[in-house]
């Protein structure tokens, strides 16, 4: 019989053969695990809409970080819920604030774990917006100054990387200059560069107690239909000195991840956000989807689209159960 067509199935016949020709494998080194720090001691409170995700006081969170480090996950990203919120979110740059406390506790338990801090104000302001309000909207330039204060407070407390998630214009530049002027030229910035105003953040706002009290975030986060603008946002953050850029959310924005990957050679992160996590948990609880299979399929797709790093609430569980090595 002459050669008529190609038999793709030859390399799909056994698991071993499939493993040999697999193009994309998610590794634990790719993962960044998000954690939520709250005031108090001995606090471990599950987020109703995010089964398996907890608000933790810094003592509990530090213990958790030791487990995460022992599993071989290289990094966590910390979100802080302060004791007191105000109009400007001033507890966000306090030297003894919730994040500085958390960093100290984590460093005592797991010194080699990379501690990344989310830099934003929505958890710290009484109105839940990501900055200072002037004339009914978030004012860009004063917020940028405050973000730089916050990033510096995190740097002084020992953070290994800061990650501004606010979407103010020019904040990477001002944070970079502030860090450099204060002896932190070595500290990398992971910029939430293309962050969309997404419905997928719903469950996070319960976890971070950061839902806006009026309006929404559409005047600062990106309009979901805009893919080309996302590439421009990334270009700007690269020009301002970002070391790692991010696309967020991930699952509904795989095309954006791919576009950014094709355009830039920086490390690229993607945030597998709360709603993406909760959808899988909820469907699995109903018995409608196979939890492990879907979680791995989604994370693999995010990496296949071009992400080098994935922020995901699945990290600890999937590594602990050997599903990611
Ligand atoms: C803002 C911030 C948000 C998330 C990360 N940083 C929420 C928002 O912009 O409203 C969302 C993460 C998630 O949904 O998992 N500090």
- Per DSSP, helices labelled H in the chain are 15-20, 58-70, 98-109, 140-157, 171-181, 202-207, 227-240, 254-263, 274-285, 291-305, 315-320
Instruction: Give the mutation target among 32, 77, 201, 271 for probing the ligand 1 site: most ligand atoms within 8 A of CB.
Output: 201
| C-alpha of residue 3 to centroid of ligand 1, in Å | 54
CA atoms within 13 A on the CB side of 282: 10
Q: What is the mean pLDDT of residues 111-132?
A: 97
Q: For residue 247, report the distance from its CA to the centre of ligand 1, in Å.
A: 12
- Residue 133 Cα, ligand 1 centroid: separation in angstroms? 19
What pLDDT was estimated at residue 3? 82
Task: Compute, in angstroms, the gap from residue 156 CA to the centroid of ligand 1.
Answer: 24
The secondary structure of 80-112 as a DSSP string is E--S--BSS-GGGG-TTSHHHHHHHHHHHH-TT
To the query of whether residue 195 is one of the catalytic residues in this protein, the response is yes
Residue nearest to atom 14 of ligand 1 (CA): 201
By CB atoms closer than 10 A (0-12, 13-18, 19+), residue 213 is: exposed
State what percent of residues in the chain have pLDDT above 70.
100
| Structure tokens that stand for 228 in this block | 């080309």
Q: Cβ < 6 Å from ligand 1: which residues?
A: 118, 120, 122, 165, 201, 204-205, 217, 273-274
The stretch 71-89 carries a mean pLDDT of 98
* Nearest alpha carbon, ligand 1 atom 1: 165
Q: Is residue 147 pLDDT above 70, yes or no? A: yes
Which residue's CA lies nearest to atom 11 of ligand 1?
201
Confidence of residue 1 (pLDDT cuts 50, 70, 90): low
Ligand 1 pocket test: which of 82, 122, 222, 272 has the largest number of ligand atoms within 8 Å of its C-beta?
122
Question: Does 268 have pLDDT greater than 70?
Answer: yes
Q: Is 28 marked active-site?
A: no
Average pLDDT over residues 48-73: 98
The C-alpha torsion from 232 through 235 and 239 to 245, rounded to 10°, is 120
Among 85, 248, 303, 316, which one carries the catalytic annotation? 248
Residue 296 has pLDDT above 90, yes or no: yes
Average pLDDT, the chain: 97
Give 277's Cβ-side CA count (13 Å radius): 26
Q: For residue 75, what pLDDT band results from cuts at 50, 70 and 90?
A: very high
- For residues 258-286, average pLDDT: 98
Task: Say how many C-beta atoms besides its own lie within 10 A of residue 100's C-beta.
Answer: 21
Band of the pLDDT at 38, cuts 50, 70, 90?
A: very high
Q: What are phi and psi of 222, to 5 degrees?
A: -75, 150
Residue with tokens 């460093």: 107
Contact indicator for 320, 64 with CB cutoff of 8 Å: no
Alpha carbon distance 312, 160 (integer Å)? 19
Nearest CA, atom 10, ligand 1: 201
Question: What average pLDDT does the segment 64-68 reach?
Answer: 98
Q: Evaluate whether 316 touches 324 at the Cβ level (below 8 Å).
A: no
Q: What φ, ψ does residue 268 adopt, rounded to 5°?
A: -120, 125
Of 204, 272, 310, which is best to mutate to test ligand 1, by the most ligand atoms within 8 angstroms of its C-beta? 204
Phi, psi of 324 (to 5 degrees): -125, 130
> DSSP letters along 139-188, please?
-HHHHHHHHHHHHHHHHHHT-SEEEE-S--TTHHHHHHHHHHHTT-TT--
Q: Which of 310, 168, 210, 171 is nearest to 253 (CA)?
A: 310
Ligand 1 centre from 120 Cα, in Å?
A: 9
For 257-294, give one letter per residue: b (16+ CB within 10 A) or e.
bbbbbeebebebbbbbbbbbbbbbbeebeeeebeeeee
Please give the average per-residue pLDDT across 267-286, as a whole number. Answer: 98
Q: What pLDDT, on the 0 to 100 scale, is given for residue 2?
A: 74
The residue whose CA is least distant from atom 7 of ligand 1 is 201
Give the residues across from 50 on adjacent strands.
47
**Residue 54: its pLDDT value, please?**
98
Q: Which of 85, 107, 195, 303 is catalytic?
A: 195
Q: Whose CA is nearest to atom 5 of ligand 1?
A: 165
- Asked if the bond preceding 249 is cis, omega within 30° of 0, the reply is yes
The string of pLDDT tens digits covering residues 125-134 is 999 999 999 9
pTM: 0.98
Q: How far is CA 176 from the centre of its chain?
A: 19
Q: Are 192 and 246 in contact (CB under 8 A)?
A: yes
User: How would residue 73 be classed by pLDDT, with cut points 50, 70 and 90?
Assistant: very high
Q: Which of 124, 128, 165, 198 to mutate to test the pocket of ligand 1 (most atoms within 8 A of CB)?
A: 165
Could you report the per-residue pLDDT of 176-216, keeping only the tens digit for each?
A: 999 999 999 999 999 999 999 999 999 999 999 999 999 99
Q: What is the DSSP letter of 324?
A: -
**Whole-Å CA distances, 244 to 21, 57, 124, 240, 267:** 29, 29, 25, 12, 5
Considering only CA atoms, which residue is closest to atom 9 of ligand 1? 201
């Amino acid at each position: 019989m002459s050669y008529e067509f190609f038999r793709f199935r030859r390399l799909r016949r056994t698991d071993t053969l499939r493993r040999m020709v697999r193009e994309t494998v998610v590794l634990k080194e790719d993962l960044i695990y998000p954690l939520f720090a709250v005031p108090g001691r001995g606090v471990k409170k599950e987020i109703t809409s995010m089964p398996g995700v907890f608000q933790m006081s810094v003592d509990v969170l530090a213990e958790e970080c030791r487990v995460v480090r022992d599993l071989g996950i290289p990094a966590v990203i910390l979100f802080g819920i302060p004791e007191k919120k105000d109009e400007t979110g001033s507890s966000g740059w306090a030297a003894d604030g919730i994040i500085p406390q958390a960093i100290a506790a984590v460093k005592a338990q797991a010194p080699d774990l990379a501690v990344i801090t989310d830099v934003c104000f929505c958890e710290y302001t009484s109105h839940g917006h990501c900055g200072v309000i002037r004339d009914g909207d978030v004012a860009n330039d004063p917020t940028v100054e405050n973000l730089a204060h916050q990033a510096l407070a995190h740097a002084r407390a020992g953070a290994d990387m800061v990650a501004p998630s606010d979407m103010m214009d020019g904040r990477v530049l001002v944070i970079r200059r502030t860090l450099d002027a204060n002896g932190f030229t070595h500290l990398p910035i992971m910029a939430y560069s293309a962050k969309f105003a997404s419905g997928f953040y719903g469950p996070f706002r319960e976890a971070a107690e950061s839902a806006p009290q009026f309006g929404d975030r559409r005047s600062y986060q990106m309009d979901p239909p805009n893919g080309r603008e996302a590439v421009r946002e990334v270009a700007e953050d690269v020009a301002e000195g970002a070391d790692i850029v991010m696309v967020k959310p991930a699952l509904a924005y795989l095309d954006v991840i791919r576009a950014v990957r094709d355009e830039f050679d920086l490390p690229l992160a993607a945030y597998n956000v709360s709603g993406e996590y909760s959808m899988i948990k909820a469907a699995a609880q109903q018995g409608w989807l196979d939890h492990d299979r879907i979680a791995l399929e989604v994370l693999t797709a995010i990496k296949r689209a071009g992400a080098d790093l994935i922020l995901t609430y699945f990290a600890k569980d999937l590594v602990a159960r050997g599903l990611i090595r």
